[in-house]
Amino acid sequence: MIIINDIKNAFLPELIIVIFILLNIILSFFINKNTYKKARIINIIGILSAIISMAFMQINPTYFSYNNSLLSNTYTIIFKIMILISNLLVILVSSSMLREKRKRTFEYFAIIQSATLASLLLISANDFLTAFVSMELLTMSCYFLTGFRKNHKSKEASLKYLITSASATILFLFGISYLYGIFGNINIEEINEILLTQPINILFITASLLIIVGAIFKLGCIPFSNWIIDVYEGSTYTTCTFISLIPKIAATAFISRLFVYIFQYSPILQIITAFVAFISIIYASIGAIKQTNIKRFYAYSSIIHSGFILLTISVSNVYALSSVLFYIFTYIFINIGVWSASIIYNKEYNTDNIDDYKGLYYKHPYYSIALIICLIALAGLPPTSGFIAKLYIFTAIIRTNTIFLLILLATLLASVISIFIYIKIIKILFDKQQNNINLNHKFHKEKVILYICALITILICIYPDMLIKLSQITAYYI
Amino acid sequence: MQNYILPILIFSPIIFSIILMSPILSSEEKVIRRSTKIFSIIHFIFTTFLLITFDYTNMGNHLESNLKIFNSDWVETIGLNASFSVDALSILLVGLTSIIFLITVFLSKKMIKHSYKLYYSLILIIETAVLGILCAKDMFLFFLFWELELIPMYIILLKWGSGNKIKIAEKFIIYTFLGSIFILLGILLLYILNFINTGTLNADFYNIDISNIDNKIKYIIFLFFLIGFGVKLPIIPLHSWLADVHSQAETPVSIILSSILLKVGAYGILRFNMQVLNDTFIIFAPLIIILGVVNIIYGSICAINQKDIKRIIAYSSISAMGIFLLGAASLTETGITGAIFQLISHAFISAGLFTIAGIIYIKCGTKNILKIKGLGEKMPVLMFLSIPIILSAMGVPLLSGFIAEFLCFIGAFTSQIESIIDVKISTLIALLSLIFSCIYILKIYHSTFFGELNKKYNQVKDINIHQKIILIVIIIFILYLGIFPTYTTNILSEYSIINFNIIGGF
C-alpha cells in the first residue's frame, strides 16, 4: 500500500514520462513512415497527461516518499509544470531538426523525455544521492542530444561536454562524501535540522563549495561556463533551445533548495556565490560583443541570465525565491521566442551568421518585430516581462540585506553593457544592406509560437500581479 | 468613465499604431497618412477638451485615475501602481505634445518617402511614451514610458534621414541609454531609501518620504537625475549627440526631438530634481545657474559658427534650454514661471524654425546657408510667414519668445541664491545671448531669402497648402502666447508657488 501511495503522491508524472520513454523506444522499431507527426502527437499526449496527473498528487502538507528521498509540495509542482511546459514548447519547435533525420525521430524524443524525467527527479530530490543520479541522467541525455548531428563539430562539442561535465560531477560527488563525513547523513532536510543546533566549520564550507561547483556547472556560470558556448555551437537549434531551458530550470530548483536548507547558514558561501554571479554577468556581457555566430551569441546571453538567477538564489530567502520563480517563468517564453526565431531563419536561409540578418525587417516585418520584442525582453527593458522580472529581483534583494546591495548596484552597471549587445542585433535587423537571399513567405509553425511568445512577453508586463502572487505562494512552500 | 480619461488619452496612439501595423490597412501612403491624420486630429480635439475643462484653480492632482485590472494594481506586491494623474504643469505639456504631433503628422507628407506604415506607427508609439511620461504618477511607470520612447526613436533615426545615419543613431542610443540608466539608479535609490525610512514599498513620487536620510545620499541621487535628464535636455558636457542627430534626421523627426523630447527632459528636472528633492535643489542651484549660463553662451557661439541650417537651430535650442535652467534654478516665482513658459514657447519656435529649414531643404536639396540665396523672390509666402517665427526666436516683444526670456532673466536678477559667482553677474553674461541670437537667426533669414537668386533654383515653387496651415497654426500660438500671456503665466505662477521651494523674488 505504501508503494502505491508513494507512486500516486510523488512519482506520478515521472512514471508517465517513463512509460512514454519506453513507448518511444518500442515504437521506433515498428513505425517507419511519417514518423515525425506520429512521434510528436504521442509525446505531446505524454506531456499533457503528465501535467494533468499532477492534479491527483498530495501537495499540502509536503509528502515524503521512498524513504525521504523524494518529496512533493507546491514548490516542486510549480517547477515541474514549468519544465513540462517548456518541454512542450521545445517539441513544438523541433520540426526543423527532425526534417533532416526522419528516421531517428523516436530516439530523439526518447532522449528528450529522459532528460525531462531527470529534471523532474532533480526538482523533487530530497537526498544528495537522488540528486546525483538524476543530475547524471540529465547530463547523459544532453550528451546524446549534443552529439545527435553527424558532423565533426557536433561530436567535438559532445566530447567536450562529457569531459568537463564529468570533472564537475567528480567534484560534486567529493563534496557529498565530505558532507556525509561531517553529518553522517545525506538527506537535505535532516542536515538542515542538524545545522540548526551545530555550528559550522571550515570543512562544511569546503564541502559546500564543491557541491556548489557541480550545481553552477549545470546552471552555466563563470568559471564553469565555457562548455556552454562550444556545446551551443556544435548542436542543432532545437537542442540549444532544450539545453538553454530544461537543465537550467531543474538546476535552479535544486540549488534554491540547497541554499535555503543548507548553505544559508554560512554567509561566506552566499557572498562567494553572489560574486561569482556578478563576474559571470560582466564576463558574458563583454564576451558577447564580438560574436558573429548567433548560437554563440545566445550562449553568452544565457550565461548572463544564469548570472542573474544565481545572484538572486544566493540571497536565499522567500522574496528572492519568488523573484527567481517569476524570472524563470518569463525567461521560458523569452527564450523560446528567441530560439524559434533563429530556427525559422536557419530553416529558410541555412546560416548561423549574425550579419546575414541584415535588413531582415524589410522582408519579414512582423517576424522582426516579434524578435525585437524578445530581444528587448532579454535586455530587460520595458515594456516587456524582462523588465518586471529584473525589477522584482532588485526589490527582493533590497528587502533583504545591505551587503548584497553593493553587488546589486554593480550588477546594474554591468547590465548596461548587456543592453548594448542586444541593441546591436536590432540595428542589424534594420540595416540597409540587404543580402541577396530570395523572398520566401512560407508559413512556419514556429512563427505561431514566436508570435505567441512575444505576445505573452508583453502581456506579462501589463498584468504581472497574478504571476507574482503565484510565485510568492510557491516560494513559501519550499 | 471619468476614471478612464487619462488611460484613453495615453494609450490610444499605441493602439492605433498597432492597427496601422496590422495587415488590415493597405500599405498605400495615402491611406496610412490620412488615417493617422484623422486620428491625430481627434486626439488633439480630445486633449483640447481636457485642457478647457481642467480645473486650474485646484493645483493638486485633479484628474486622477487608476488603470485597474482585475481589481489589482500594476505590481501590487512590490508597491507599483499603474496610476496616472495630471496637474497644471503636465496638462499644459500634454496639450503641447498633442499639437506638436499633429504638426509632425501634417509635415510628414512629402518628407517621408518610404516605409510609411512603420514610420507612422513608430511616431504614434513615441507619442504614447511621451504622454505616459507626463502623466505617470509612479516612478517605475515613468521609467517604463521613458524607455518605451528610445527604441522607436532609434529605429526612426536608423531608417530615415541623410548622411551617416547608423553612426548618428548609435550615438543617440548610447547617450540616451546611459542617461536612462542614471535615471533608473536614481529611482531605485529613492525607492530603497523610502523603504528604509518607512518600511513600505512605495514608488509614488508624490508620497515618497526621504526626510530622515543623510544629505550625502540625497546629493548622489540628485546628481544621478541631473545627469540622466541632462542628456535629454541637453546640459553642456552631455550635448554632443544633439547637433548631429538634428542635422541628419528628417525634419518631422527633428521637430519631435527638439519640441517634445527636450521638453520631457526638462519636465523630469522639474518633477524629480525640483519637487521630489526640493531641499537638495537649493544647494545645487548655483551649479545649475552656472550650467545654464554655459549652455546659453556655448550654444549661441556654436550656432554662429555653423553653416548647416539645422545645426544652427539645434545649437539655438541648447541655448534656449540654458535659459530654462537659469529661470528654474533662480528659485523665484517669476523665474520658474518663465522657465515653464520657455518650454512651451520654445517648442513652437523650434517647430516653426525646423519647418522652414525642412521646406528649404526639400526645395533646394541643401542645408548649407551659404549656397542658398534669394529664395524670397520665388517663395514670398514662406518668406512672409517665417517673419514672426524668426522674430520670436530672437526675442522680440509681442511674441512668445520675448515673454519667456524676459521672465527668466527677471527671475534670475531677483534671485537670492548665494554662490561664488554672483547670480546677477552671471545673468548679465547670459544676456549677451540676446545679441548672439540676433546674429545667427538673422543670418538664416538674411542669407536664404535675400540676395541674388541662384539660377539652379529658378524652378522652385512656393509652399503648398499643407505647409501654409502648419506655419499659420504655429504663428497663431506664438502670437497668442506673446500677446495674451497672462492667462498661462497666472496658472504657472500659482502652480510654482504651491509646488516649488521658492526662496526669493519680488
Mean pLDDT, residues B370-383 taken together: 84
Lookup: cell for B125 = 508609439
d(CA B436, CA B444): 13
CA distances from A140 to A115, A119, A223, B369 (A): 8, 12, 21, 71
Grid cell for residue A73: 509540495
DSSP3 helix / strand / coil % (chain A, rounded to 5): 80, 0, 20
B443-470 mean pLDDT:
83
Q: Which residues contact A197 (CB under 8 A, 6 or more apart)?
A: none
Query: Structure pTM?
Result: 0.88
For residue B217, the SS3 value is helix
**Residue A54 backbone dihedrals phi, psi, to 5 degrees:** -70, -20
Closest A-chain CA to B177 = A416
pLDDT at B67: 46
Average pLDDT over residues B333-338: 91
Q: Which three cell numbers stand for residue B407?
A: 521672465
Q: Which of residues 216-255 of A touch B (CB under 8 A)?
A: none
Angle at which helix A385-398 crosses helix A365-379, to 10 degrees, equals 10
A465 touches chain B (CB under 8 A): yes
**Dihedral over Cα of A470, A474, A475, A476: its sign:** positive
Distance from C-alpha of B272 to C-alpha of B226, rounded to nearest angstrom: 9
Contact B177 A423 (CB under 8 A): yes
Interface test with B, best of A321, A372, A381 (most B CBs within 10 A): A381
Using DSSP's 3-state secondary structure scheme, residue A65 falls into strand
Kindly write down the DSSP assignment for every residue of B351-414, as one continuous string. HHHHHHHHHHHHHHS--BTTT---GGGT-HHHHHHHHHHHHHHHT-TTSHHHHHHHHHHHHHHT
Compute the residue count for chain A.
478
Domain regions of chain A by residue span: 2-476
Q: A363 to chain B, minimum CA–CA distance in Å?
A: 12
Chain A partners within 8 Å of B143 (Cβ): 382
From residue B499, alpha-carbon distances to B203, B271, B276, B404 in Å are 19, 10, 10, 20
Show the DSSP H helices in B74-164 as ranges.
88-111, 116-135, 139-148, 150-159
Axis-axis angle for helices A294-315, A237-261 (nearest 10): 10
C-alpha cell, B485: 500671456
Tell me whether residues A399 and B173 touch, CB distance under 8 A: no
B interface residues, A as partner, C-beta within 8 Å: 21, 69-70, 72-78, 115, 118, 140, 143-145, 147-148, 151, 154-155, 158-159, 166, 169-170, 173-174, 177-178, 181, 184-185, 188, 191-192, 195, 201
Q: Do strands A63-65 and A70-72 pair parallel, antiparallel, or not at all (unpaired)?
A: antiparallel
Residue B24: strand, helix, or coil: coil
- Residue B459 corresponds to which cell in the numbers above? 524652378
Residue A175 one-letter amino acid: G
pLDDT per residue over A136-174, tens digit each? 999 999 988 888 877 888 888 899 889 988 888 899 999
CA distance B148 to chain A (A): 6
Maximum separation of any 2 CA atoms in chain A, in Å: 70
Q: Do A423 and B154 touch (CB under 8 A)?
A: yes
Q: Looking at residue A99, what is its pLDDT?
A: 58
Interchain proximity A423–B173, CB inside 8 Å: yes
Q: Residue B22's closest chain A neighbor by CA?
A: A366
A431 vs B: CB within 8 A: yes
Average pLDDT value for chain B = 86
CA atoms of B323 and B326, how far apart (whole Å)? 5
B155: chain A residues, CB-CB within 8 Å = 426, 430
**With bands split at pLDDT 50, 70 and 90, how would you rate the model's confidence at B159?**
confident
Secondary structure, 3-state, A211-270: HHHHHHHHHCCCCCCHHHHHHHHHCCHHHHHHHHHHHHHHHHHHHHHHHHHCHHHCHHHH
CA distance B117 to chain A (A): 11
pLDDT at A436: 57
Given a cut of 50, whether residue B69 has pLDDT beyond it is no
All residue ranges of chain A with pLDDT < 50 are: none
B256 confidence band (pLDDT: 50, 70, 90):
very high
User: What confidence score (pLDDT) does residue B64 get?
Assistant: 53
> Which of A469-478, B437-446, B452-461 has the lowest average pLDDT?
B452-461
Question: Which residues of chain B neighbour A472 with C-beta distances below 8 Å?
Answer: 77
Position B70 scores a pLDDT of 36
